[in-house]
Amino acid sequence: MTHQIAVIPGDGIGQEVTPAAVDVLEALSPDFEFVEGDAGDAVKAETGEALPQDTRDIAANSDATLFGAAGETAADVILPLRDVVGSFANVRPAVSYPGLDAVQPDTDIVFIRENTEGVYSGIESEIADGVTTLTRVVTEDASRDIAEFGFDYAAANGYDDVTVAHKANVMRETDGLFLETAEAVAEGRDAAYDTALMDALAMHLVMHPEEYGVVICPNLAGDMLSDLAAGLVGGLGLLPSANVGSENALFEPVHGSAPDIAGKGIANPSAMILSAAMLLDHLGYGDEADRVRAAVEGVLDEGPRTPDLGGDATTSDVTEAVIDRL
């Protein structure tokens, strides 16, 4: 069966790493048909819209979407795109690889981030001159969905440690509900878990990442803690992610458009290629996904490496080395 894949490179290094991931997918020759869409700062400058209706339709009508990164318009692009594919869970693995000089070489953590509400609900206003507010939305339904997804993910992928991150001692209503709902889900299935205050958790993750497996987080906490974990394993060039919905999904690196290195051809394509591996898993190509991960691991270990990892290789050197290993 042919799968249609929406490809949305976006801005900055999104234009460089997305074609790299498509080249890797094409080298595996699964039965994919790629359809490209525009999004981000460049298309907004041209048309006034950061996420044209055409691109929304392409994502909605595809079996999965590969997204690179947007620049300043990121919130106008990625939040609605996650909506278009109905994704409620953002899966962000942070894994240290052999051969890299990581701050914490023994890290294997998957952040399961609530993807629809919290402080990213978009309900902000300026209520008076110099006074602004933001409404933090937390619902029982979304909290239950993310907790169930997180415990299912841990069981399916062999993670024994599940941690629920929260700040219910201060945000008593919103994180109180998040925590209480996650605890009810865990108890309903007799699953072992810990809870952790998210600020203290940030410190523990830096000092003892090996003690953590799956971390279930409210939206903003998941965004921040996963970037923190990126720093532990070698940087943002390494972290892939999946935005999973009940019927559709979008795959993107955790990083943004990286304007400081865009256009130089030196972006690390690993995060994007590993996101493509998550896409392969999602569409049932588990063996191909494992082959891609093994090829990326081999290249990370033996080179060539891009400058963010201390090397002097280009995006295409790394991509070709991954394809050679396939």
Determine if 224 is a binding residue for ligand NAI (CB under 6 A): no
- 260 flagged as catalytic: no
- What H or E segment, with its residue span, contains residue 79? helix 74-84
Residues 34 to 73: which contact ligand NAI by CB under 6 A?
69-72
The verdict on whether omega for the bond into residue 304 sits within 30 degrees of 0, i.e. cis, is yes
How far is residue 153 from each of residues 36, 89, 101, 138, 202, measured CA to CA in Å? 30, 11, 29, 22, 22
DSSP letters of 172-217?
Answer: TTHHHHHHHHHHHHHHHTT---EEEEHHHHHHHHHH-GGG-SEEEE
Q: Which of 15, 87, 96, 257 binds ligand NAI (CB under 6 A)?
A: 257
- Residue 70 near residue 50 (C-beta atoms within 8 A): yes
From 167, 212, 281, 308, active-site residue: 167
Span near ligand NAI by CB under 6 A; candidates 100-108, 197-205, 256-264, 282-290: 256-264
What are the contacts of 178-187 at 24+ separation with CB within 8 A?
Answer: 178/114, 178/138, 178/143, 178/218, 181/140, 181/143, 181/144, 181/147, 182/143, 182/146, 182/147, 182/150, 182/216, 184/144, 185/144, 185/147, 185/148, 185/151, 186/147, 186/151, 186/162
Residue type (1 letter), 188: G
> What token pair was written down for 103?
């701050």
Least Å from the CB of residue 294 to Mg ion: 27
Determine if 100 is a binding residue for ligand NAI (CB under 6 A): no
Closer to ligand NAI by Cβ: residue 183 or 227:
227
Closer to Mg ion by Cβ: residue 226 or 319:
226
Bridge pairing between strands 240-245 and 249-253: antiparallel
Task: Give the one entry of ligand NAI, Mg ion, none that residue 310 binds, where binding means its C-beta sits below a cut-off of 5 to 8 angstroms depending on kind.
Answer: none
Least Å from the CB of residue 296 to ligand NAI: 13
Determine if 87 is a binding residue for ligand NAI (CB under 6 A): no
- 223 flagged as catalytic: yes
From 120, 153, 159, 193, active-site residue: 120
Residues 13 to 32: which contact ligand NAI by CB under 6 A?
13, 17
Closer to ligand NAI by Cβ: residue 75 or 192:
75
Least Å from the CB of residue 8 to ligand NAI: 10
Task: Give the one entry of Mg ion, ligand NAI, none that residue 223 binds, where binding means its C-beta sits below a cut-off of 5 to 8 angstroms depending on kind.
Answer: Mg ion
- Residue 284 near residue 273 (C-beta atoms within 8 A): no
Q: Which of 62, 268, 275, 314 binds ligand NAI (CB under 6 A)?
A: 268
- 227 flagged as catalytic: yes
Query: Given the rule CB under 5 A, which residues bind Mg ion?
Result: 223
Helix (H, G, I), strand (E, B) or coil at 10: strand
Least Å from the CB of residue 254 to Mg ion: 6
Q: Which of 118, 209, 218, 237 binds ligand NAI (CB under 6 A)?
A: 237
Residues tagged active-site: 120, 167, 199, 223, 227
